[in-house]
Structure 1
Amino acid sequence: MSEAHAVVLFGHGARDPEWARPMQRTRDHLRAQAPGLRVELAFLEFMAPTLEEVIDTLVRDGIRHIAVVPMFIAQGGHLKSDLPKLVDAARARHAGSEITLAPAVGEADGVVAAMADYALGFGGVSSD
């Protein structure tokens, strides 16, 4: 199982559990698209599990290729400072693992286009 892969969808977290619903839906969609891929959620604060807990569990389960995908619209302070420190600490704890960090999901061209199309729909304008 040493070649197993996982994706961790990382979010800020909130006190209201409903806040995580879009991340849960994204996780479920990704699991349906790639049934052999392990997909987990992790949060910076207010919610569990933490990124540290998720990565430690994945490695304990034999997964050595882990991609952390920040479910943020843009690279703010948490993604420029806090998240790289968490990922570096995980890399130090699990030197035999490959832990990669993606840019904020909101900066991907496809996501930007989807958000623009969504907004156009509310503006009464079609992108067609």
Structure 2
Amino acid sequence: MNAGTLPSRGIVLFAHGARDARWAEPFERLAQKLRALAGPDTPVSLAFLELMTPDLPTAVAAQVAAGCASITVVPVFFGQGGHVRRDLPLAIDACRTAHPGVDIRAAVPVGEDDAVLDALAAYCLRQLI
């Protein structure tokens, strides 16, 4: 961030979570890559549904405390199962209630985006020997 300025927009990558800490490694690498692309004025956080910390309300609260007025939650899920259809909207609603002056929205799950599917298809093709 520039000296004296606060971020206005933030991104929270939202994943399921697991008991094994190594499970989070690719999500941490994704967050690092996103931070490099977004630049220092856009906070990028990870949040987890269960079994890992921080949870979504904690990650959102940290970005609000850092001055974010708009936060986009990006579900790092392959599709729209029960967690995305049921659990995520409840968590987003709780965050909106806790921070009524902040624009908090959810993107579609990454696995539903054609560019992501194209990248996965290209990866699969590179695996052919």
Does the 8 Å contact 1:5/1:66 carry over to 2?
yes
1:48 equivalenced with 2:32 (yes/no): no
Shift of 1:15: 0.6
**Within 5 Å, which residues of 2 pair with 1:102-117?**
102-117=107-122
Distance in 2 of aligned mates of 1:63 and 1:6: 6
Please list every run of at least 4 consecutive aligned residues from structure 1 whose deviation after the TM superposition is greater than 3 angstroms. Answer: none
> Normalised by the size of structure 2, how large is the TM-score?
0.91
Does the 8 Å contact 1:3/1:65 carry over to 2?
no
Partner SS state of residue 19, structure 2: coil
**Within 5 Å, which residues of 2 pair with 1:18-37?**
18-35=22-39, 36-37=41-42
**Within 5 Å, which residues of 2 pair with 1:1-128?**
4-35=8-39, 36-124=41-129
Distance in 2 of aligned mates of 1:26 and 1:116: 18
User: Which 5+ residue runs of structure 2 have no aligned equivalent?
Assistant: none
> Normalised by the size of structure 1, how large is the TM-score?
0.92
Q: CA RMSD in A?
A: 1.3
Give 1:76's aligned amino acid: G
Distance in 1 of aligned mates of 2:6 and 2:124: 43
Cα deviations across residues 87-127 of structure 1 (Å, max 9, x unaligned)? 01111111100001000001111100111111122234xxx
Does the 8 Å contact 2:7/2:43 carry over to 1?
no
Partner SS state of residue 104, structure 2: strand
User: Which 5+ residue runs of structure 1 have no aligned equivalent?
Assistant: none
Give the paired residue count. Answer: 124
111 and 119 in structure 1: CA distance in 2 versus 1, 3 angstrom threshold: same
